[in-house]
Structure 1
Amino acid sequence: MAGIDRQITLRFLSEPADVNFGGKVHGGAVMKWIDLAAYACAAGWSGKYCITAYAGGIRFVQPILVGNIVEVSAKVIYTGKTSMHIGIDVRAGDPKVSERHLTTHCIVIMVAVDEQGQPTPVPEWVPQTENDIHLRDSALRLMEMRKKIGAEMEAHVQK
């Protein structure tokens, strides 16, 4: 049901096919997992098909090793009219112990679309806790920063 589930965690083992030339999990594999978790979270919240509009602030804090258990947690931190800002944390560690360390974090913006691919309204998320208010306010500040960065990036777009 839309507007009920605001977070999801995907759990799985990293595989040899995920490895890069340095012997660690490839950043592109991590980005794919982030996109999958963001979609699952946004679709669960909105009850609609969603597309990725933005992924930013990706920070690769620590490497993920092949054979690690990986947890990709996604949480709605702000909703606009048709968009959802999703906070993502990726944690990993040895599956034989319970400790997981932060490996990656970022923000992904998903947009709900209708059958014609047009943006469609999503349920509003209203923060309930002090931490939720902080996350929402952070998302709003980041939105303002993205507008400024977007204007600066126009100079780099080849026309």
Structure 2
Amino acid sequence: MSSGQREVTLRFLAEPGDVNFGGKVHGGAVMKWIDLAAYACAAGWSGKYCITVYAGGIRFVQPIHVGNLVEVGAKVIFTGKTSMHIAIDVQASDPKTLDNRLTTHCIVIMVAVDEQGKPTSIPEWIPVTEEDRQLHDSAVKLMNMRKQIGEEMEAHVKYLKK
């Protein structure tokens, strides 16, 4: 059963093991954090085990440095019958100043599954505030764009298989 928890924030310090060859936190570590936050958010909303089916539009805006306090915020912005669109914002700051700056943002789509791994129904999220309605409308626009991109990619896959 859903707890109705629509959003979650994970907080932790960026560690030396997260660094790339350039001395900044590498994108793979950030993507892992995004996936963890998306799962926690989706599971909190649906009350079920959830899997990642899409992560897109990932924008790395600013680097994250070792020792930064990292906050990964995740919020449900659209629900289907079994899926949840989760907006993710990653922010970082020096823990001494706590002056957060946006470092990364994206959309992740999670699907709730049953014990056999089959998609299962979830509670509907209904936007209430104007900001919620804008986020919901944005998710719908992105779904339509992903469909078009998927059709174009399918043409490429068919061509490459020849």
The residue aligned with 2:119 is: 119
- TM-score, normalised relative to structure 1: 0.98
> Hey, which bits of structure 1, 4+ residues long, moved more than 3 A?
none
2:132 maps to what in 1?
132
Q: Secondary structure at the match of 2:122?
A: coil
Count of aligned positions: 159
Which structure 2 residues correspond to residues 1-150 of structure 1 after superposition, within 5 A? 2-150=2-150
Q: Mind listing any 5+ residue stretches in structure 2 that lack a counterpart? A: none
Q: Structure 1 residue 151 and structure 2 residue 127: aligned?
A: no
Superposition RMSD in Å: 0.9
Measure how far apart 1:3 and its partner are: 5.0
Deviation at residue 156 of structure 1 after TM alignment: 2.6
Secondary structure of the 2:38 match is helix
TM-score using structure 2 length: 0.96
Q: Aligned partners of 1:128 and 1:74: how far apart in 2?
A: 18
Task: Label 1:133 to 1:64 Cα distance change in 2 as closer, same or farther (>3 A).
Answer: same
Shift of residue 83 of structure 1?
A: 0.1
Q: Which segments of 5 or more consecutive residues in structure 1 lack a partner in the other structure?
A: none
Structure 2 Cα separation of the partners of residues 34 and 133 of structure 1? 23
- Aligned partners of 1:53 and 1:73: how far apart in 2? 19
Residue pair 1:3, 1:125 contacting (<8 A) in 2 also: no
What is the alpha-carbon distance in structure 2 between the residues aligned to residue 40 and residue 97 of structure 1? 27
Q: Deviations over 1:101-134 (max 9, x none)?
A: 0000000000000000000001000011000000
- Which SS does the other structure have where 2:33 is aligned? helix
Q: State the shift of 1:4 in Å.
A: 1.4
- For 1:10-29, what per-residue CA distance to the aligned partner results, in whole angstroms no more than 9, with x for missing partners? 00000000000000000000
In 1, Cα distance between the equivalents of 2:149 and 2:5? 32
**Cα deviation digits, residues 69-94 of structure 1 (max 9, x gap):** 00000000000000000000000010
